Amino acid sequence: MCGIVGYVGKENALPRVLDGLNFLEYRGYDSAGVAYFTNGKIKITKEVGRISVLEKKLPKDIYTNMAIGHTRWATHGEASKINSHPHRQGKFTVVHNGIIENYAELKKELKKAKVKFISETDTEVIPALLNYYYQQEPNILKCIQKLKNKVTGSYALGIICDDDQDHLYATRCGSPLIIAKAAKGNFIASDVPAILKYTNKYYLLDEYEIAQISMNKITIYNADLKEITKEELTFAGQAESILLNGYEHYMLKEIHEEDQVFLDTFNYYVTDNKFKKTMPHLKNYRQIHIVACGSAYYVGLIGKFLIERLAQIPVTVEVASEYRYQENFYNKQTLVIIISQSGETADSLAALRKAKEDGIDTLAIVNVIGSSIAREATYTLYIKAGPEIAVATTKAFLAQTTLMALLAIHISNRLDLLKHFNGLEQKIKYLLQQDYRQYAKAIYQEENIFYIGRQMDYALCLEGALKLKETSYINGVAYQAGELKHGTISLIKENTPVIGIATEAKVMAKTISNIKETKARKAQVILITNQDVPDKCYDKLIMIPKVHEIVSPILTVIPLQLIGYEVAKLRGCDIDKPKNLAKSVTVE
Ligand code: G6P
């Protein structure tokens, strides 16, 4: 959600910034803009729509050593040129990711000081404030420092000032930002993929730290403007991991990485059917709250069933945006588990902070190394999914589910169950090789599709339905199979598409009865199961290899993801960048 890139160096800044923005496309955006100096003067170009539209508007022959760029996902004010970033007031030009919560109040105050605002955005108060402070004392670092006590909300900022065309400035609070060091220049960016083409060396900026970056020097200050030394990090993966490598879409590429992602995650925590030291000691907790958003929340639901069944510990699963505002009856033996691919989801981060404020231990299950949630939790367990670019999560879901299952085994000390993970990658590969187009063809013209299942199968129904909504804009809706008869079955008529999931032995017979109830009303049923069932209850069948329930969801999700992909393809949707969605939702 909103991407920031900036470059200052010996080489041409604009192509580098545009490259970076292109790699951040996956975060979701609806307009883009850049600012750069040419012959000592600032130039700003902004356009609604894709980065390619912006690129066409930029002069081809520009050579500039410093530029900042931004992709905007509209929050305050529609997607328009005026509301796009960079925003400028006086001598300051700024790109921003996050939300300035007290912007209305600040605008009012600044208007009294004769500042004129041209956009509807919250962001415009930032260059206005900086310019106002600068008029009082022309010290850029001090002006940025003053934001800390004035601005509430979240921000990652890239800042340039007309009076200092050798330095790019950056600071953050709540929203992510990295500073990267390349051979002939330095970058700022919202995320590592933006800079991988040029370097894999970077620093993570912590809350309220300020970076002052020139062609050959990066200086980082703490909130008191004392110079500090930061640990230089190296992105361990290959730069190729963020390229399509011949796949038509990132979503497809990422689904096809799932056998390896499973192995990498499993091997990171387990060796010789024993846990490595990478697993923290968690046996003293008597109650668990799992908090997450979107797909990560559905992983939480799977986790609830597994932990409760194996460890006999009560687990509640909550959507992060609700969790903060409700009564949470925790005690010193409660563990709050936050699941997040990006590690930056604002609602999940806020829930984590609330639990911490209340003195409760937190455990983060995260993909992005060094992300805010990963850094702030008491314990952090990484999934080993690698960079996930497609907005609709797939491989991270599979890796999170793998880790949830391992966590359930660890908490319950049921090490005997680890053997069920051995060789699972072959079964994943088998499912990846199947052709799911026939199922997609049967449903892609529908506007409503029902997913029904019980227990963990229901959590998978939710994920299957979300994949369809996200990538195909079809209203996929999930129901607990047993609940259907209490109202929703009234919607089932001839040819209504129903995807039934029945893999759980415990509830198999009951789920099959519920599926038959829809078939009796002439629904068009695609059944996903792992055992022979009466042939009268489905039109199409997807057989999943039969495995222990602890690993079963890892397999079942694969056809759901691939059906989602194939349906989106048949409908001609922009699969990797669905409308209105963002990969990393950094607003609450
Ligand atoms: C967004 C995405 C979802 C994702 C959710 C949580 O809404 O569109 O696909 O599941 O964020 O993201 P996280 O990074 O916290 O897992």
pLDDT digits (tens, 9 = 90+) for 425-460: 999 999 999 999 999 999 999 999 999 999 999 999
> What is the CATH architecture of 247-422?
3-Layer(aba) Sandwich (3.40)
| Catalytic positions | 2, 583
Distance CA 4, CA 263 (A): 33
What's 248's DSSP letter? S
pLDDT, averaged across the chain? 94
Going by alpha carbons, the residue nearest to atom 4 of ligand 1 is 294
Please check whether the domain covering 3-240 is classified as CATH 3.30.457.10.
no
141, burial (CB in 10 Å: exposed 0-12, middle 13-18, buried 19+): middle
Helical H segments across 161-293, by residue range? 250-255, 258-269
Ligand 1 within 6 A of CB of 295: yes
Is the pLDDT reported for residue 1 higher than 80? Answer: no
Q: The tokens of 297 are what? A: 């929340």
Within 10 A of 509 (CB to CB), how many other CB atoms are there? 10
Structure-token match 């680890």, residue found: 418
Q: Where in the chain are the domains? A: 3-240, 247-422, 433-573
* Residue among 191, 585, 587 whose CB has most ligand 1 atoms within 8 A, to mutate: 585
> Radius of gyration (Cα) for the chain, nearest Å?
25
Amino acid letter, residue 457: D
Task: Tell me the C-alpha to C-alpha distance, in Å, between residue 90 and each of 74, 116, 170.
Answer: 24, 10, 18
- Give me the pLDDT at residue 329, please: 84
Task: Determine contact, residues 360/286, Cβ cutoff 8 Å.
Answer: no
* Mean pLDDT score, 406-416: 96
Which stretch of 68-82, 136-150, 252-266 has the lowest confidence by average pLDDT?
68-82
CA of 134 to the centre of ligand 1 (A): 39
Task: Determine contact, residues 116/158, Cβ cutoff 8 Å.
Answer: no
260, burial (CB in 10 Å: exposed 0-12, middle 13-18, buried 19+): middle
Percent of the chain residues past pLDDT 90, beyond the cut? 82
Q: Do 433-573 and 3-240 have the same topology in CATH?
A: no
* Mean pLDDT score, 309-330: 93
Helices (H) and strands (E) in the chain, counts: 17, 27
Ligand 1 within 6 A of CB of 393: yes
CA of 488 to the centre of ligand 1 (A): 27
112-137 b/e with 16+ CB inside 10 Å = b? eeebeeebebbbbbbbbbbbbbbeee
**Sorting pLDDT into bands at 50, 70 and 90, what band is 74?**
confident
> What is the CATH architecture of 433-573?
3-Layer(aba) Sandwich (3.40)
Ligand 1 within 6 A of CB of 340: yes
